[in-house]
Structure 1
Amino acid sequence: MGVSQSTVWRWKTKEIIRKHTNAIKPLLNDKNKLDRLIFCLSSCILDDEGINFRFNDMSNSVHIDEKLFYLTRTQQTYYLTPDRNLSFYNSSFSLEELKEQEEREHRDQTSIRNKWPQEASKKIFIQQENAKPHILDDDLRFREAATFEGFDFHLVQQPPNSPDMNVLDLGFFRSIQALQHKKSAYNYTQMVRAVTNAFESLQPSTMKFVWITLQACKVEVIRKLGA
């Protein structure tokens, strides 16, 4: 902050500043910064003179990610053996079977096709993070289904350690969780109901501002050369 430690301590005791943990900004190495810079520049369109730029409208981009909602604000850690059933899924899936199910879901574009506006471009880019269950664009089974019914799906990997490059982590999940925490949930069924209600009550206009925030983040990444 450009001030001495004694000044910071005085501000803290007078509650002028307060402690805040920001999980959206992890530590970045040089490779991460380069990947972030290239990723943000790939979203830009230069003018005819090659000086000014604007972002593409991202109207054919779909961001996917996972989010674990907790029953309380206190985070709890659980350890499961590979052969233990997860009863809260109301199923007998093992952890390995759940991983395989997630991989199948990432290959299935049915829900996107069913909800996609008729007038929108059918060349769709699905952005995903780099979690192990996720597949790559050259996955054979994904490519077989990628051009079904005139659609043309492509998978895009967001840069590592960059949750701020995904609208879900950047703001959408936080908005849902803020509403979910207003409801008391004492078991898994109540928690699912609270999350579902929060999703349904969230105004679509909120997403507009999250996308604008994403563009603002990309501008700062470009200005700071990936930082």
Structure 2
Amino acid sequence: MAKTTLFRRLKEGRLRRHSNAIKSTLTDENNRARVKFCLSMFQPLSIPQQPTFDGMHNVIHIDEKWFYRTQKNQKFYLGLNEEDPKRTTQNKNYIEKVMFLAAVARPRYDDDGNMTFDGKIGIWPFTFLEEAKRDSKNRDAGTIVTKVLPAVTRKVSQDYMVNKLLPAIKEKWHVSDRGYPIIIQQDNAKTHIPVNDPMFCEAAMADGWNIRLTCEPPNSPDLNILNLGFFAALQALFQNLFPGSLDDIVTKVLQAYGEYPPERCNRIFLTLQSCMREILKLNGGQHYKVPHMRKMALAGASLLPTRLPCDPAIVNAAIEFLSATI
């Protein structure tokens, strides 16, 4: 078919554009784990008559993400007389980048709708400071410079979890919730610490806290709010700040994290619950369209729910699926 014919059919509405994202390959065991995970997120007393998801206010989602100083190709919208942006790098195949560990919980509101906790636990770069060993045109020898860690190993992950994440949780969490379970959800990357890591467990249970570590089902980025929408929004905010150096990347990622509207994070948790309903319908499958709920319109009308219901037939079918595959 000629390109002009294709374009005409598209304008006529007889064809549609579609962006297709590749999905992880799921085994039968992966499907069972996904269904079991989604069922565990319901309020226990609501099953089976009126299945309703839990508010998830005690769950903290963590994950890592690379942030690049710039992209090889980037679109700009300029005025008619505005000059083209000038972007340079010594090597297009090596653009400065920094990996960050991010932790986000669900925002909380009081009975009057006022936010009492924004859900932002923190975001930390995998970098270190070191004295420059020799002079250069950019700085003198002995100047403190920022460098990226050569590798994020399990030992590094343990250090960040114990010495950065846990103190931030204990500082920002409601003191009245001390002693109640707080769940940190991570993925199954090999560099992550096991859920029963002795050093982590000792620090997590110190001072009367009850912080636990759990893993989401394998090959399930759609069950982590960071991958479901938070990182994409953070990346968009970060790109608008145009960092110019390694230190600038760190500074502007922290700035973008601080500017991120917590109301959007609250809506992603509802998106997560709607995705869980789709996963249950497909017996753990992941080839579904993320449902649209018109959350902004509901929020504007003060009708945005804190948790979503689910059709009892879907939940019962999921339970039968698990029973049949044991």
TM-score after normalising by structure 1: 0.80
What is the rounded CA distance, in whole Å, between the counterparts of 2:253 and 2:51 in structure 1?
Answer: 39
What is the rounded CA distance, in whole Å, between the counterparts of 1:179 and 1:93 in structure 2?
Answer: 22
Structure-2 residue corresponding to 1:117: 174
Q: Rg bigger for which structure?
A: 2
Is the 2:127–2:148 contact (alpha carbons within 8 Å) kept by the matching residues of 1? Answer: no
1:33-82 CA distances to partner (integer Å, 9 max, x unpaired)? 1111111111112446723311111111111111111222349766xxxx
Q: Name which of 184, 188, 191 aligns with 1:126.
A: 184
The answer to which of 210-219 and 45-54 deviates more is 45-54
Deviation (angstroms), 1:167? 0.9
Is the 2:204–2:210 contact (alpha carbons within 8 Å) kept by the matching residues of 1? Answer: yes
- Structure 1 runs not aligned, ≥5 long: 1-8, 79-86
Say whether residues 1:58 and 2:56 are aligned partners. yes
1:116-142 CA distances to partner (integer Å, 9 max, x unpaired)? 112336311110111122112221222
Q: Name which of 2, 8, 14 aligns with 2:10.
A: 14
What is the rounded CA distance, in whole Å, between the counterparts of 1:88 and 1:112 in structure 2?
Answer: 21
Q: Name which of 68, 77, 90 aligns with 2:129.
A: 90
What is the rounded CA distance, in whole Å, between the counterparts of 2:222 and 2:155 in structure 1?
Answer: 27
Structure-2 residue corresponding to 1:33: 31
Deviation (angstroms), 1:143? 2.0
Say whether residues 1:226 and 2:284 are aligned partners. yes
Is the 2:157–2:193 contact (alpha carbons within 8 Å) kept by the matching residues of 1? Answer: no
Is the 1:12–1:18 contact (alpha carbons within 8 Å) kept by the matching residues of 2? Answer: no
The answer to which of 207-216 and 67-76 deviates more is 67-76
Aligned residue-pair number: 211
- Structure 2 runs not aligned, ≥5 long: 74-91, 95-125, 131-146, 286-326
Q: How has the CA–CA distance of structure 1 residues 27 and 13 changed in structure 2, closer, same or farther, with 3 Å as cutoff?
A: farther
**1:1-227 aligned within 5 A:** 10=6, 14=10, 16-22=15-21, 25-47=23-45, 50-74=48-72, 89-91=128-130, 95=150, 99-108=154-163, 109-120=166-177, 122-227=180-285
Is the 1:61–1:127 contact (alpha carbons within 8 Å) kept by the matching residues of 2? Answer: yes
TM-score after normalising by structure 2: 0.57
What is the rounded CA distance, in whole Å, between the counterparts of 1:11 and 1:218 in structure 2?
Answer: 37
Is the 1:137–1:156 contact (alpha carbons within 8 Å) kept by the matching residues of 2? Answer: yes
Q: Comparing both structures, which one devotes a greater share of its residues to strand?
A: 2
Please give the secondary structure, in 2, of the residue aligned with 1:43: coil
Q: Comparing both structures, which one devotes a greater share of its residues to helix?
A: 1
What is the root-mean-square deviation of aligned Cα atoms in Å?
2.9
Higher relative contact order (CA 8 A, sep 6+): 1
What is the rounded CA distance, in whole Å, between the counterparts of 1:54 and 1:195 in structure 2?
Answer: 36
Q: What percent identity do the matched residue pairs reach?
A: 31
Amino acid at match of 2:35: L
